[in-house]
């Protein structure tokens, strides 16, 4: 297969210290009412996000001009009512936008997109998507040129501070999902307003804006990676990733609930990754509505989130803590490795058996990183693939349990080695060593990816290595670098 350059590393960051973020969510949510016409009222902002994420080089004014034009021309979005299909609106908005870029001679970014403009429909959008650039090295110290000034601006024109924030954030983070940008813009605006009334504004800005900035940076990376998984791996892998993440969060929910949710979330990611901000905003608010309507079956931790209005619900649920582990002693995992009917299921209904294993394993091991769980999953899949061809398969796959433990043990071992190495070399030399190490291990990475990756890894080591054993493991798996996956093992689904 040519052109196969799968991401062989997935970097997952933990969600920011939720408490600080949740505080700013609550502060901002306080003044928002639950609006039925959320989409319509925010259409301008939503369109700005879409435009700025595609036309990253355009100025604020240029983006505003295009947004005016689009909102004016998108007939289908004007009559939008809650019960009507909004997909026509999103489709029209997107098509109109792409046409607008392609038909406008003087447009700043047009040159760049000329090859995309020669093709049509779905292919055109795909082509535009390829031009999005997420510069992870971009220093995103948010430009607050003069704090007094921002407070004056706010008095004169309440909206412009928020709109500028939306513009800057969208162009800097072209893969960050629209609903998140909307939420964070509300948090930002609330923070600015409250700081402008403070005596010491500088201090207030530092305290209130830092968590917002940090969250945006981390979640943007995460969204970008989810998009890459969606593009570079098949849909089974994306779904497996969602299944693990959801199960860790909601270990009490039953398999059918989790499996359905995983499918929905995967589809939503796809929509959001395609840059269709209207559909992404709508899809997410529907998903969150669904989630809240079933909260008792899903998780006990999301109740306070479900009381919030639309723009805040989603972010709050995503950042809620994992639910407590249920008592699973009566349902031993051994049915996957000791039951004589495993091969029959594997052969007849593989698509039921494997996700169910993944679910049962994840809910028992919420302390393990996604990467480790996926590796265990791949080991199990390969094991059955091999054993079920044999005369006595049970004898063969009954070694599964030890094999899973070995995978977990190896990942402990790797972390221990890293920490030992760091202690020996010191932080600066440790980073250099990591670069050398991983240049050999994953030659597929570009120089920039490699530096970013090893930097994250070194940062995680600095933070986590001083902790004790088990805490250290969780911290490493959870906070910084996540994993280097051998391409084949993640692509095991073919």
Q: Which residues bind ligand NAG (CB under 6 A)?
A: 31, 190, 193-194, 200, 202-203, 254, 256-257, 289, 297
Angle at CA of residue 52, ends 48 and 56, nearest 5°: 170
Whole-number Å distance between alpha carbons of 358 and 376: 9
The strand pairing partners of 9, in sequence order, are 484
Whole-number Å distance between alpha carbons of 347 and 376: 20
Dihedral, CA atoms, 370, 178, 162, 292, nearest 10 degrees? -70
**Measured from the CB atom, is 15 or 142 closer to ligand NAG?**
142
Task: Give the nearest distance from C-beta 254 to ligand NAG in angstroms.
Answer: 4
Helices (H) then strands (E): counts for the chain: 27, 2
**Measured from the CB atom, is 64 or 289 closer to ligand NAG?**
289
CA distances from 329 to 290, 326, 332, 377 (A): 30, 9, 6, 21
**Measured from the CB atom, is 80 or 98 closer to ligand NAG?**
80
**Measured from the CB atom, is 30 or 341 closer to ligand NAG?**
30
Cβ partners under 8 Å of residue 270, min gap 6: 230, 238
Cβ partners under 8 Å of residue 23, min gap 6: 211
Task: Give the nearest distance from C-beta 140 to ligand NAG in angstroms.
Answer: 22
Whole-number Å distance between alpha carbons of 365 and 349: 25
Task: Give the nearest distance from C-beta 243 to ligand NAG in angstroms.
Answer: 15
Dihedral, CA atoms, 25, 28, 34, 38, nearest 10 degrees? -90
DSSP alpha helix (H) spans, 14-86 = 18-29, 38-41, 43-54, 60-73, 75-78
Whole-number Å distance between alpha carbons of 403 and 406: 5
Burial (CB count <10 Å: 0-12, 13-18, 19+), residue 461:
buried
Task: Give the nearest distance from C-beta 309 to ligand NAG in angstroms.
Answer: 9
**Measured from the CB atom, is 241 or 282 closer to ligand NAG?**
282
Whole-number Å distance between alpha carbons of 107 and 121: 20
**Measured from the CB atom, is 157 or 194 closer to ligand NAG?**
194
153-166 burial string, b = 16+ CB within 10 Å, else e? Answer: bbeeeeeebbbbbb
**Measured from the CB atom, is 27 or 388 closer to ligand NAG?**
27
Q: What is the largest CA-CA distance in the chain?
A: 80
φ, ψ (nearest 5 deg) of residue 252: -85, -20
**Measured from the CB atom, is 306 or 396 closer to ligand NAG?**
306
**Measured from the CB atom, is 187 or 272 closer to ligand NAG?**
187
């Amino acid at each position: 297969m040519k052109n196969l350059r799968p991401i062989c590393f997935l970097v997952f960051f933990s969600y920011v210290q939720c408490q600080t973020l949740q505080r700013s969510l609550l502060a901002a949510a306080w003044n928002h009412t639950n609006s039925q016409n959320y989409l319509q009222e925010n259409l301008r902002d939503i369109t700005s996000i879409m435009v700025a994420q595609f036309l990253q080089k355009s100025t604020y004014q240029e983006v505003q001009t295009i947004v005016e034009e689009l909102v004016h021309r998108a007939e289908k979005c004007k009559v939008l009512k809650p019960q009507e299909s909004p997909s026509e609106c999103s489709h029209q908005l997107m098509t109109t936008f792409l046409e607008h870029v392609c038909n406008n001679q003087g447009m700043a970014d047009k040159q760049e997109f000329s090859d995309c403009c020669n093709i049509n429909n779905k292919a055109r959008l795909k082509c535009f998507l390829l031009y999005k650039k997420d510069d992870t090295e971009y220093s995103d110290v948010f430009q607050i040129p003069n704090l007094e000034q921002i407070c004056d601006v706010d008095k004169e024109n309440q909206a412009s501070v928020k709109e500028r924030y939306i513009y800057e954030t969208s162009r800097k983070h072209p893969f960050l999902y629209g609903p998140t940008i909307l939420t964070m813009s509300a948090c930002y605006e609330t923070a600015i307003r409250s700081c402008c009334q403070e005596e010491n504004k500088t201090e207030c800005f530092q305290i209130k804006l830092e968590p917002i900035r940090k969250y945006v940076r981390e979640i943007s990376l995460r969204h970008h990676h989810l998009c890459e998984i969606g593009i570079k791996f098949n849909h089974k892998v994306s779904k497996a990733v969602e299944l693990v993440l959801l199960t860790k969060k909601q270990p009490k929910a039953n398999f059918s609930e989790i499996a359905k949710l995983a499918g929905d979330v995967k589809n939503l990611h796809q929509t959001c990754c395609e840059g269709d901000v209207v559909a992404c905003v709508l899809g997410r608010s529907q998903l969150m509505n669904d989630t809240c309507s079933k909260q008792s079956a899903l998780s006990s931790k999301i109740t306070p989130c479900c009381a919030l209005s639309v723009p805040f619900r989603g972010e709050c649920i995503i950042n809620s803590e994992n639910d407590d582990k249920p008592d699973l002693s009566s349902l031993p995992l051994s049915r996957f490795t000791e039951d004589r009917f495993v091969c029959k299921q594997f052969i007849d209904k593989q698509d039921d058996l494997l996700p169910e294993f993944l679910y049962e394993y994840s809910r028992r091991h919420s302390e393990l990183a996604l990467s480790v769980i996926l590796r265990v999953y791949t080991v199990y899949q390969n094991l059955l693939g091999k054993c079920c061809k044999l005369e006595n398969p049970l004898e063969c796959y009954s070694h599964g349990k030890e094999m899973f433990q070995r995978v977990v043990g190896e990942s402990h071992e790797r972390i221990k080695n890293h920490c030992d190495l760091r202690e020996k070399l010191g932080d600066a030399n440790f980073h250099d060593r990591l670069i050398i190490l991983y240049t050999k291990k994953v030659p597929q990475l570009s120089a920039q990816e490699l530096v970013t990756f090893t930097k994250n890894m070194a940062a995680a080591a600095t933070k986590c290595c001083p902790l004790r054993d088990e805490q250290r493991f969780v911290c490493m798996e959870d906070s910084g670098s996540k994993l280097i996956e051998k391409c084949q093992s993640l692509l095991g689904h073919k």
